[in-house]
């Protein structure tokens, strides 16, 4: 990925439009559960990616504005699946869900130049 894109996104998160998808872990949702570090490690292990601090490592994929509504549906589903992968103690299910989610992400973003991690639409919420 072009590091210039990540730098721009890290310094302009407040102005990222709905037509841009930021690929990150939904870390704020997980902070109240078993701990942020554990969640990051779990997702990194299962999806084979690095999920970093919003201010340091952000992968950005530009999307067409008319795709945003569908993106939100997809990314919400991915986030829910990722949360299950992270919280369940069943390793077999963790592996199954990780593969399913990874496949889902790859399918949704196969036309993009960067595919990593789990997606979250920058909606300001």
* More reliable by pLDDT, 13 or 92: 92
In a 10 Å sphere around its CB, with 0-12 CB exposed, 13-18 middle and 19+ buried, how is residue 31 labelled?
exposed
Residue 70 dihedral angles phi and psi, to the nearest 5°: -70, -35
Query: How far apart are alpha carbons 96 and 62 in whole angstroms?
Result: 29
* More reliable by pLDDT, 60 or 95: 95
Name the average pLDDT for the chain: 44
Residue 63 pLDDT: 38
Residue 116 tokens, joined: 């990593």
Residue 18 pLDDT: 35
Taking the domains of the chain in order of start, what are their residue ranges? 3-121
């Amino acid at each position: 990925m072009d590091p210039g894109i990540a730098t721009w996104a890290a310094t302009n998160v407040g102005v990222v439009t709905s037509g841009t998808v930021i690929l990150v872990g939904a870390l704020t949702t997980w902070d109240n559960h078993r701990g942020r570090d554990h969640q990051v490690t779990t997702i990194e292990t299962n999806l084979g990616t690095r999920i970093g601090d919003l201010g340091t490592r952000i992968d950005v994929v530009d999307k067409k504005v008319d795709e945003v509504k569908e993106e939100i549906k997809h990314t919400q589903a991915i986030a829910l699946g990722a949360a299950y992968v992270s919280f369940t103690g069943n390793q077999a299910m963790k592996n199954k869900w990780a593969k399913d989610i990874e496949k889902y992400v790859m399918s949704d973003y196969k036309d993009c130049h960067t595919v990593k991690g789990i997606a979250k639409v920058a909606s300001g919420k």
